[in-house]
Amino acid sequence: MNKILFTVMMVVVASNTHAQNDTMYIMKNGNVLGKYNVNTEIDSIVFTKHQTIQDNSFTDSRDRQVYRTVTIGKQVWMAENLRYLPSVIEPSYGSETKRYYYVYGYEGISEVVASYTDNYKTYGVLYNWAAAMKGAASSKTNPSRVQGVCPSGWHLPSDAEWTELTDYLGGEAVSGGKLKEAGTDHWKSPNDGATNETGFTGLPAGYRYYTGKFNDLGNYTEWWSATENDAHQAWQRGTVYYMRDLRRFNDHKDVGVSVRCIRD
């Protein structure tokens, strides 16, 4: 949780020749940010706290996977990539219409074996758009009302919901850094601008490219939206190790990328 601590100090100054003077000091970390006479300069004091992060967790009833969650503005997001894996296929197979699930670096067809790999445990599953949507129609609304591959009570965010997130964080140019896990345990150096001040903990899960290869683990990540651009492409958000932005772009529906669900 991000915390900003303000200390309000009421100081009473008295002298033999002047009437009592009540002064309010606004302080942070021992420094005076403002000083006001409560008799002549203000008529009320209002305290507010800007809540941006609230950690919690829930269990996906389908496979008993436990996910951390985080509140950012008015939205509640999963703080981990989705790991739901009903089946798995090697990356040489791709489709815009069939539901395909991939685990980065895994070349087999056993979801049990795939689920024991380090990449599955750390980065989750890569989904083509058909798998992410699970047969639902494209949605531009906020909320999307597309459950898709997400657990009950959660849904795949629309492009508009991603935009609400980036707007809340100050725009696309800086929001990637606020969503990326800080440091270089997973991200390639320099992991520019990464603070993870939101608790979103974006990881560089790479992707399954439409050429049938896995690419950019440690360098890059993309997340699906529930909003298509046309019959062959859908909108995504992505960020990379050398930038702090969260790019909005559309990509082929047969690529395999990560999913972050948002609470209904």
For 32, the token pair is 């005076």
149 vs 160: CA distance, rounded Å: 19
| The pLDDT of residue 194 | 98
Better pLDDT: 118 or 13: 118
| The pLDDT of residue 16 | 40
CB-based burial label for 231 (10 Å; 0-12, 13-18, 19+): exposed
- Asked if 149 contacts 220 with a C-beta cutoff of 8 angstroms, the reply is no
pLDDT at residue 154 above 80? yes
pLDDT at residue 186 above 50? yes
Say whether the peptide bond before residue 157 is cis (omega within 30 degrees of 0). no
In tens, the pLDDT along 137-153 reads: 999 999 999 999 999 99
In tens, the pLDDT along 84-116 reads: 999 999 999 999 999 999 999 999 999 999 999
Cβ of 3: how many Cβ atoms within 10 Å? 7
| The pLDDT of residue 184 | 98
Overall average pLDDT of the 191-196 stretch? 98
In tens, the pLDDT along 116-134 reads: 999 999 999 999 999 999 9
Q: Is the pTM of the predicted complex or chain greater than 0.85?
A: no
| The pLDDT of residue 8 | 36
pLDDT at residue 37 above 90? no
- pLDDT band at residue 1 under the 50/70/90 scheme: very low
Better pLDDT: 219 or 9: 219
- pLDDT band at residue 44 under the 50/70/90 scheme: low
Cα 194 to the center of its chain, rounded Å: 13
The structure tokens 């979801």 sit at 111
207 vs 209: CA distance, rounded Å: 6
Overall average pLDDT of the 52-66 stretch? 84
| The pLDDT of residue 166 | 98
| The pLDDT of residue 21 | 56
233 vs 250: CA distance, rounded Å: 6
| Mean of pLDDT over the chain | 88
Q: 109 CB contacts (<8 Å, ≥6 apart)?
A: 87, 88, 89, 90
Domain positions in the chain: 1-50, 56-263
pLDDT at residue 29 above 80? no
pLDDT at residue 48 above 50? no
pLDDT at residue 195 above 60? yes
| The pLDDT of residue 88 | 98
Overall average pLDDT of the 7-20 stretch? 37
| The pLDDT of residue 20 | 44
pLDDT at residue 5 above 50? no
